[in-house]
Amino acid sequence: MTRTPFIAGNWKMNNTPAETRELINELLPQITPAPCRVALCVPFVNITAAAGLLKDTGILLGAQNLHMQDKGAFTGEISAPMLRDCGVACVIIGHSERRQYFAETDETVNLKAKKALEYGLVPIVCVGESLDEREKNETDKIVSSQIRAAFSGITAVQAQKITIAYEPIWAIGTGRTATAEEANRVCGLIRAEIAAIYGNDTAQNILIQYGGSMNAQNCDELMAQPEIDGGLIGGASLKAEDFARIVNFE
């Protein structure tokens, strides 16, 4: 089974619209035409600026969150139809920072994934364990539980439209990263969990990114692993040269 690699940049809470235009203009000549699937997941206020520059480039526009309802009295929230109408193609759901700081739960991750699918957005569903959970040898249990919850009530056809990002929380923004072999092992565990739910055909088609501090120095080794289909890139996505190096991994 050949899966097309998917590299997504998560800008988090960085860059103004002006800085967005500057970074994208610097980045595009280095990654177009892209050798793999690429997305830039920008802050909400930068979506319009990014959309204009990414149009017809083949680079997908992504968001970092959405609400599980279409509309309503949810001050400060953004809905799936709003994102779709702005040209957004994919959306990060359940990032560890959303879980840690904004009370995201397995239940809300599931509801948001379903809402994204309803409006034709590609959900990038994040799972991963904390340092305490890893030190207690609970990685497999935690990750498997998160996968089961995230995919509850989702059909096999829908599941194949979802990208999973394994992001060990202890490796995000710390400069630490799992060894390539361990990252591959956990991504393989995730694929096995999907196979147990939906069967091997679905599992072999689903994309699994690694999201724990992939950078310009370690991307080749990580991307060489058979179970790793791409990366959810944080800090390195804010530097055009570094992100381009990851997109053009060898």
Q: What Cα–Cα distance (Å) separates residue 143 from each residue in 51, 67, 127, 130, 138?
A: 34, 23, 6, 10, 9
pLDDT tens, residue by residue, 192-226: 999 999 999 999 999 999 998 899 999 999 999 99
The CATH architecture that domain 6-247 belongs to is: Alpha-Beta Barrel (3.20)
| pLDDT > 80? residue 19 | yes
The catalytic position among 67, 95, 97, 129 is 95
| pLDDT > 90? residue 118 | yes
pLDDT on residue 1 = 56
| pLDDT > 80? residue 185 | yes
Active site residue 95: yes
* DSSP conformational letter for 119: T
pLDDT on residue 171 = 78
Percent share of the chain, pLDDT over 90: 92
Residue 227 tokens, joined: 């179970």
User: Rounded distance, CA 110 to CA 141, Å?
Assistant: 18
Active site residue 67: no
User: Strand, helix or coil at 26?
Assistant: helix
The catalytic position among 97, 129, 167, 227 is 167
H or E, element range at 222: helix 219-223
Domain boundaries, the chain: 6-247
Model confidence, pTM? 0.96
Residue 55 tokens, joined: 């149009």
Q: Which residues on neighbouring strands pair with residue 90, listed in sequence order?
A: 62, 122
| pLDDT > 80? residue 173 | no
pLDDT tens, residue by residue, 21-74: 999 999 999 999 999 999 999 999 999 999 999 999 999 999 999 999 999 999
pLDDT tens, residue by residue, 218-250: 999 999 999 999 999 999 999 999 999 999 998
